[in-house]
């Protein structure tokens, strides 16, 4: 039996899918349901389903990032999106990320059955066609790294951890660390330090700002630590850099 997980913030939809769809006709069973993206991602890591039906426009959530995270971490999992969001470019990106079907709500039963047929067919061919799945997960990984870098850039001045960024991208910190290394050839902390030093360089152009204050503004509480990282990254001290401008 293929394990199925359903994610949607509308309880009626979760109940309807669970009860109305004849899952056994497709050799499937609903292993679990979740009402939001974070809960759903945790459930998927626990149950490791072969099939996922999910909405990607839940309140306060970045659905494409969630989708990229799941496709990257679980490249063999077949995904059908059920959404009321009618945006063609959004649907195109979801398909590039490797979803099997993109269905608009309210979805008809024959559409759901066709999606199940497509997903179970893919699963049955999986061992003979791994290259197809690899290409999908590759785009998802690249998309996810871009999202992670954007989040890090936005929050670089804060006390940022790999776990926080991973949570924002709906993946495990182990998987995000692996992706960052693969696509940037740098560790999480090397990337974070690089972003902070780039921001510090901009601030050093303002002579009214003290160097110690700049270090704190970009995320370094300890001035000595900021000085070490700046010199290691640029090959010169912050004061030397300021004088070179």
Task: Tell me the pTM.
Answer: 0.71
The whole-angstrom separation of Cα 148 and Cα 129 is 30
pLDDT band, residue 131 (cuts 50/70/90):
very low
The whole-angstrom separation of Cα 67 and Cα 29 is 22
For the stretch 46-77, pLDDT in tens is 999 999 999 887 765 667 888 888 888 898 89
Arithmetic mean of pLDDT, 74-100: 85
Asked if 34 contacts 9 with a C-beta cutoff of 8 angstroms, the reply is no
DSSP character at residue 82: E
Residue 135: the pLDDT is: 44
The whole-angstrom separation of Cα 23 and Cα 98 is 22
For the stretch 213-223, pLDDT in tens is 999 999 999 99
Residue 60: the pLDDT is: 58
Residue 104: the pLDDT is: 87
Q: Where do the domains of the chain lie, and which CATH numbers do they carry? A: 2-134 (3.40.50.2300), 190-244 (1.10.10.60)
pLDDT band, residue 133 (cuts 50/70/90):
very low
pLDDT of residue 90 exceeding 90, the answer is no
């Amino acid at each position: 039996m293929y394990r199925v997980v359903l994610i949607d913030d509308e309880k009626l939809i979760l109940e309807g899918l669970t009860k109305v769809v004849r899952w056994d006709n497709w050799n499937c069973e609903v292993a679990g349901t979740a009402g939001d993206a974070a809960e759903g991602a945790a459930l998927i890591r626990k149950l490791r389903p072969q099939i996922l039906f999910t909405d990607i426009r839940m309140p306060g959530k970045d659905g494409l990032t969630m989708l990229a995270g799941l496709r990257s971490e679980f490249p063999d999992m077949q995904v059908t999106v059920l959404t009321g969001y009618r945006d063609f470019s959004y649907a195109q990106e979801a398909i590039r990320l490797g979803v099997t079907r993109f269905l608009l709500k309210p979805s008809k039963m024959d559409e759901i059955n066709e999606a199940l047929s497509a997903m179970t067919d893919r699963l049955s061919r999986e061992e003979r066609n791994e290259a197809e799945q690899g290409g999908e997960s590759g785009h998802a990984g690249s998309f996810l790294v871009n999202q992670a870098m954007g989040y890090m850039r936005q929050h670089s001045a804060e006390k940022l951890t790999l776990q926080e960024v991973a949570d924002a991208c709906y993946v495990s910190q182990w998987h995000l660390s692996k992706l960052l290394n693969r696509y940037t050839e740098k560790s999480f902390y090397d990337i974070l330090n690089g972003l902070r030093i780039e921001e510090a360089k901009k601030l050093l152009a303002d002579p009214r700002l003290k160097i110690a204050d700049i270090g704190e503004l970009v995320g370094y509480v300890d001035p000595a630590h900021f000085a070490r990282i700046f010199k290691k990254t640029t090959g010169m001290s912050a004061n030397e850099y300021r004088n070179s401008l």
